[in-house]
Amino acid sequence: MWQFRKILLPFSWLYGWVIRLRHLLYDKGFIKAKSYSIPIICIGNLSVGGTGKTPMTEYFINLLKTDFNIAVLSRGYKRKSKGFLLADQRTTVEMLGDEPFQYYTKFKGVHVAVDADRQHGIETLQKLCNPDCVILDDAFQHRKVVAGMNILLTTYNDLYVDDLLLPAGNLRDVVNRADNADVIVVTKCPEKLSKEDKDLVTKRIGLCQHQKIYFSKIVYSTLIYSERERHSLAFLKGNTFTLVTGIANPQPLTSYLESLGLVFEHIDYPDHHHFSEKEISILKERSLILTTEKDYVRLKGRVDNLFFLPIHNEFLFEEGGDFDHEVLNYIKKA
């Protein structure tokens, strides 16, 4: 693998030069970025995916939705629509994109919109919804908007400091862009991460003076859900089932299910995959399908005997209270 990466390194250097030039143009003011009077929270990463951004965004929604009128703005990756779109009862997953559609269907009363132009998206939300706060989903690499709070995610087993730029690696932005983060969250940590390992990762990342770091894990639900049913995970032990995933990194999920002693067939599709009719016909032949919540919104109504396994983000070392306080304090002072 490293030999193959070495072949691609010149292309990574060229890509890095283009990215650095773009940042320089913003830093020198040749390209203008815009600030806003309302709190803007940006959640993102430096890599192409798989850092746990969706459960982190949902963590923010759960934290803020009771006390604030919040809006979530996403690009709507691979959606079949253009421009600004505010989700309503007529909106489909194809129009909105899988992650925004998941937020919309899961959190009633939260405004969910998509727009590749983040400035236009924020300004349109202000006119239509007058939100107290806007959560920018997957926008860390975008410079057109100056967010008041930047949250950078990196996975425990694939830290951005150990990666390379595309195409030799998985980074879509240069490593020193991490200096722009106010908070770094190390996601998908082991269940029993030691204080020593935490300190080693913190040292490896090398925080700036203004930054704070937190550690979190993915927690799997003890229940699986369909449109009308729910069962404990133990239900799967007595059934032959197929795991269907269209996410960036399904390995943690497959490892978790295997640790429970479950035996299954795994059909793995690319991230944000649009299922063709031929693929749906193949899946219809399976007697029982388990999938992720993000894939469920794309498969719901097209496949029978379909269940999903919810996940959520949880902070380690009892850091959740400090994290929540920091976020709420920013919003109240903004």
Separation CA 298–CA 308 (nearest Å):
12
∠113-120-142 over CA atoms, to 5°? 85
Query: Does residue 14 fall inside a structural domain?
Result: yes
Instruction: Determine the pLDDT at residue 96.
Output: 96
Query: Does residue 123 fall inside a structural domain?
Result: no
Regarding beta strands 230-232 and 149-155, do their DSSP bridges make them parallel or antiparallel, or are they unpaired?
Answer: unpaired
- Split into its structural domains, the chain has a count of 2
Please give the annotated binding residues, written as ranges.
47-54
Query: Does residue 117 fall inside a structural domain?
Result: no
- Return the axis-axis angle of helices 53-64 and 98-106, rounded to nearest 10°: 30
Query: Does residue 39 fall inside a structural domain?
Result: yes
Instruction: Determine the pLDDT at residue 50.
Output: 86
Condensed to tens digits (0 to 9), the pLDDT of residues 239-249 reads 889 999 999 89
Q: Residue 328: exposed, middle, or buried by beta-carbon count in 10 A (0-12, 13-18, 19+)?
A: middle
Which residues constitute the domain of residue 233?
223-309
CB 165 within 8 A of CB 174: yes
Q: Is the same domain home to 282 and 140?
A: no
Please give the annotated binding residues for ATP, written as ranges.
47-54
CB 290 within 8 A of CB 307: yes
Q: Is the same domain home to 280 and 260?
A: yes
Query: Does residue 111 fall inside a structural domain?
Result: no
Instruction: Determine the pLDDT at residue 301.
Output: 92
Instruction: Determine the pLDDT at residue 51.
Output: 93
Instruction: Determine the pLDDT at residue 1.
Output: 55
Q: Is the same domain home to 141 and 62?
A: yes
DSSP 202-255: HHHH---TT-EEEEEEEEE-SEEE-SS-EEEGGGGGGS-EEEEE-SS--HHHHH
Q: Is the same domain home to 61 and 137?
A: yes
∠235-240-245 over CA atoms, to 5°? 90
Separation CA 84–CA 121 (nearest Å):
6
Q: Is the same domain home to 302 and 231?
A: yes
Separation CA 92–CA 101 (nearest Å):
7
Query: Does residue 104 fall inside a structural domain?
Result: no
Instruction: Determine the pLDDT at residue 3.
Output: 66
Query: Does residue 100 fall inside a structural domain?
Result: no
Q: Write down the residue that tokens 């399904």 correspond to.
A: 250
- Give 263's contacts (C-beta < 8 A, 6+ positions apart): 240
Q: Is the same domain home to 199 and 270?
A: no
CATH code where residue 292 lies = 3.40.50
Low-confidence ranges of the chain (pLDDT < 70): 1-4
Q: Is the same domain home to 161 and 14?
A: yes
Query: Does residue 181 fall inside a structural domain?
Result: yes
Instruction: Determine the pLDDT at residue 49.
Output: 80
Separation CA 164–CA 5 (nearest Å):
9
Q: Is the same domain home to 53 and 149?
A: yes
Q: Is the same domain home to 60 and 145?
A: yes
